[in-house]
Every structure is written in C-alpha cells, then in structure tokens.
Amino acid sequence: MGKWLKAVGITAFVALGGCTEEPIDWGEISYRRSLLGDPDTRSAILSANLVETQSSLGTCLRTIRSAGDTLDLFRVWFSSRADSSVVLSLQRSPDRGRTWLAPMVVDSMDRGRRGCDRPAPATVFDPVSGYLYLVYFLEPPTGSGVFFAHSMDRGEMFHAPVPVVYGRKPSVAGVAGRADSVVVVFEDPNSSQSRIGYALSHTSGHIFEQRGQVTPNEEVATAPWVTLDGDKVTVFWKSSDRAATTAGGGDQRVTNVFDADRVGFRSGVWK
C-alpha cells in the first residue's frame, strides 16, 4: 500500500505538464522586500519554557513554528533522537504563551539520520473551525517526502499523517487552511530546479485532489509559504536574481545570485 501511494504521489506532480487546465487561475509574479510577519521572523515566545517530550530528545530550536488566535497559541517543533531521527511535537497554550500544556507527539515515524539539519515544519490555525494544520518533511520507512497532519479539535487529537508529495530531497513546505479547504505549497523534492508546487484539498487534507506548479521553470524559488482568503490563494517564496558571468574562452555561465531579502509572490483564484 505504501509503495502504491508513493508512486501516485510522485506521478501526480510529475504529470503536471500534461494537465489542460490549472485548478488555480494565476496572476502575474511580483516581488517585494521581506516583512516582519514573514516566516523567517522570530518571537521570544516560541522557545520560552519549551518542554522536551522525553529526556533522550534534543529540541531543534530553529525548527519551532507557531500559530494561534486571541485564545489559543500552538507551537510545533522537531526533536532529535540519539540515532539522529526526529520526532514532531506540538504544544498548546490557552493564554497566549504565558503557560503551556504538556507536549504531545504528532509524528514519530521518521527513520532518517539528519538530526536537526532539516527544514522546519509549518503550521496554521483556523479559529473559526478550530482546525490546526501542519506540513513537514519526514523520512519514514514508507518513503521520504512532504506530509500533512491536522487536528479538528484545537490540537486535542490528530488524524493520521497524509503524504502530499514523495521525494528524497529535504523540502520546505507551507500550509494555509479554512475549514475543509487546504492549500499546501512545497519545494519540488524531485526536481533539480528550485521550483514551487502546490496541492489542494476540499476534504480537510484527507485527500489532495488537485495539484499544480506555482513558479515557472525559469524562476529560481525556495522556502514557500501561502495564505488563503476566500478563494484567493497567494503563494510567497524566497527569490533570486539570475546573473550571467563570462568564463574563460567566452563561455557563458548562468549563476543564481540569492538575495535573502527578496520575496516573490503570486496570487490566483481557486476555481
């Protein structure tokens, strides 16, 4: 069953070029400078009073990510085991971070050996429905890739993780959700080109029914995140300039010049 899911997950994304109609009607790509609210910004509340799930686990502090509203705050993070595999854990605070409930394990299936050297998870909370959504890169026995997990009761219980896309290359992913509508964006783990793909679900992420590519092949894009406002999807990513340099003998080389402060973004209507 795991091998069949793996094949389907890879094929669905590779076959995007053959689709006749994208599920999102995309606008043009634009650029801006980074802002305080972008995912790379940090808050002291994220690592304050962090409790490890077991004494044998080491918290990967740079992987801590948070979500919440005026009532509840949630944070997720990876912890490294002695064999350098990881556990994904979550904590909830009912008072905006002044106190934290006991942490719970969301996913313990990793069998990789990367330790804390891995992309951070991403999470978002929908205060209207009480749904909490998570995406993350993991290396379980069934195959490495980007996985999705969600809770429908403010983090009390999580449904079994669902594969979004399989691939061995560690991939940064982002998620946005509103009740049963979920958008996941990710670095394509099966391409040498740094491009951003997406997957859509109208079933709370139990199944991702539609897939596509956000960025064209000529756009060098990494570290995506996404917002969902009604039917409007906006995907952001770290961008880079391509600069041509001349080598000996007149040969041309194209070099990607990364600018950590440059953000690309694109909006579209989910049809």
Average pLDDT estimate for 51-73? 85
Residue labelled with tokens 């004494």: 55
Within 13 Å, how many C-alpha atoms sit on residue 239's CB side? 22
Average pLDDT estimate for 199-225? 95
Question: Which of the four pLDDT bands, split at 50, 70 and 90, describes residue 193?
Answer: confident
Position with higher pLDDT, 9 vs 110 = 110
pLDDT at position 226, please?
A: 98
Question: Which of the four pLDDT bands, split at 50, 70 and 90, describes residue 66?
Answer: very high
pLDDT at position 51, please?
A: 72
pLDDT at position 54, please?
A: 67
pLDDT at position 38, please?
A: 86
Is the pLDDT assigned to residue 253 strictly greater than 70? no
SS3 231: coil
- 68-120: per-residue pLDDT in tens? 988 899 999 999 999 999 999 999 999 988 899 999 999 999 999 999 999 99
Burial class of residue 44 (count of CB atoms within 10 Å of its CB; 0-12, 13-18, 19+):
exposed
pLDDT at position 146, please?
A: 98
Residue labelled with tokens 């070099």: 255
The answer to whether the CB of 89 falls within 8 A of the CB of 109 is no
Pairwise CA distance, residues 119 & 148, whole Å: 14
pLDDT at position 49, please?
A: 76
H or E stretch including 2? helix 2-14
Is the pLDDT assigned to residue 44 strictly greater than 50? yes
Pairwise CA distance, residues 224 & 78, whole Å: 19
Instruction: Produce one character per residue of 107-118: b if its CB has 16 or more CB atoms within 10 Å, e if not.
Output: beebebebbbeb
Tokens of 40: 């790379």
Is the pLDDT assigned to residue 243 strictly greater than 50? no
Burial class of residue 99 (count of CB atoms within 10 Å of its CB; 0-12, 13-18, 19+):
exposed
How much of the chain exceeds pLDDT 70, in percent?
Answer: 82
- 120-174: per-residue pLDDT in tens? 999 999 999 999 999 999 999 999 999 999 999 988 899 999 999 999 999 999 9
Model pTM? 0.86
Pairing outcome for strands 210-213 and 73-80: unpaired
Q: Point out the least confidently predicted range of 32-36, 176-180, 193-197.
A: 32-36
**What is the set of domains in the chain, with CATH numbers?**
2-21+33-235 (2.115.10)
pLDDT at position 248, please?
A: 46
Nearest by Cα to 103 from 87, 118, 92: 92
Is the pLDDT assigned to residue 245 strictly greater than 60? no
DSSP 158: B
H or E stretch including 178? strand 173-178
pLDDT at position 43, please?
A: 62
The answer to whether the CB of 174 falls within 8 A of the CB of 122 is yes
**What's the mean per-residue pLDDT of the chain?**
86
Is the pLDDT assigned to residue 42 strictly greater than 80? no
- Rounded to an integer, what is the distance from CA 169 to the centroid of its chain? 14
